[in-house]
Amino acid sequence: MFKGRPPVRYFFLLSGGLLLFALFYFQFYSETMRLISGSIKFRSLHFGNHLTSSQQATPCSVLKCGPFSPKNFLWRTNLRSASLQGIHYEQPRLLKPLRTDVLTVTPWLAPIVWKGTFDPEIIDNTYKYLNLTIATTVFAVGKYTRFLRDLLETAEQHYMVGFKVHYYIFTDQPKQVPEVALAPGRELSVIQVPKFNRWQEISLRRMEIIQTAIEERIHKEADYIYCLDVDMKFHNRWGPEVLGSLVAAIHPWFYYYDREQFTYERRPTSTAYIPMDQGDFYYMAAVFGGRIEDVHKLTKTCRENLEEDKSTDLEAVWQEESHFNWYLLHKKPTKVLSPEYLWDDLKKSQPSEIKIVRFSAVIKNKAEVRENV
């Protein structure tokens, strides 16, 4: 057809090529970019201002902000790859496990972190060059402000040592937040919250406040977030071995119980309902964390379920912890922390499987510190 007419032939070939390219671009480019964005979470190009310990921000202003859509959100990330060149360590041997007395991996292949299951030097060198920032939220409301100094001072000795940490202290009494010397690269922000009428209300509102704080600023300022109770104290290393997409800690009083004995919400009318024949572990809401976007999904879902229960005058047996356990039953954690990472000082005797206590709840008079029971 085009014999003897090279210019015409080349024109049609070029036009066809351009047409195919255009079809490919419009058909696949947008979806490809969506998948890439979802998998590597491009670093946000704009960072919000950091508050110092002398400044305050109120989540009330956060709660009044416009609708939030994770689809249009840019999460922080770091694309550097770690190098372990020059690190020497003992060869791992498949037929010689370091721990045979405890479960070290879940049925869904999430590691359970115990002493002896990881090499601290390898872990530190894996993460130290990634320039990560770990957000750490703490609620200190009412008389619970008295626990802040011990928590922060021991955290500076044992918590994510050598890494950038940004503490977010949520309190109704900003002036009660103590001055604590922070290591280089670590900072503290005070965020004022209202005083609640019942201690249970603090529990019920915590998920909402963390969600909105993530939406307003934390997503721009950190790569991971860990949420800790204030009436706690660090005793030993609590490092980057805990980092994962969605991380939960096993309750120190329930790890040897059968699921039928767990204090899940058992009323079918609650959105936190878990039947007697279901459940993996009982997770304590005193410690949870992970990647910012995964914790955002957790807190948002728990808040929505708490609000749905409230609309029918229901309150789950252990407030947000009941909803937290429901969420983790259906959305499995990618890493589980053994009771080493969440102990209770009331447990006087330390069983043989607990080789080290890293973080524990301090002994206190609950009736005295809970102002409105």
Q: Which of these is catalytic: 321, 340, 353, 368?
A: 321
163 is in an annotated binding site: no
Q: At what angle do helices 292-311 and 199-213 cross, to 10 degrees?
A: 140
Asked if 247 contacts 335 with a C-beta cutoff of 8 angstroms, the reply is yes
320 counts as catalytic = no
CA atoms within 13 A of residue 249's CA, in its CB half-sphere: 26
Q: Considering only CA atoms, which of 175, 302, 158, 292 is closest in space to residue 227?
A: 292
Q: Are 292 and 214 in contact (CB under 8 A)?
A: yes
User: Which tokens belong to 65?
Assistant: 């902000």
CB 302 within 8 A of CB 214: no
Q: Is 136 helix (H, G, I), strand (E, B) or coil?
A: strand
Q: Is 230 annotated as a binding residue?
A: yes
Q: Does 113 appear as a known binding residue?
A: no
Closest CA to 237 of 163, 183, 165, 157: 157
The answer to whether 344 is a known ligand-binding residue is yes
Q: Tokens 């009660």 appear where? A: 176
Q: Is 140 annotated as a binding residue?
A: yes
231 is in an annotated binding site: yes
On whether 340 is known to bind a ligand per the annotation, the reply is no
Structure tokens of 268?
């079918």
Residue 176, Cβ density class (10 Å: 0-12 exposed, 13-18 middle, ≥19 buried) = middle
212 marked among binding-site residues:
no
The verdict on whether residue 313 carries a ligand-binding annotation is no
181's tokens: 């010397």
Using alpha carbons, select from 143, 204, 140 the residue that is nearest to residue 367. 143
Binding residues for Mn(2+): 229, 231
Binding residues: 139-141, 144, 229-231, 251, 263, 321, 344
Q: Which residues are catalytic?
A: 321
Binding residues for UDP-N-acetyl-alpha-D-galactosamine: 139-141, 144, 229-231
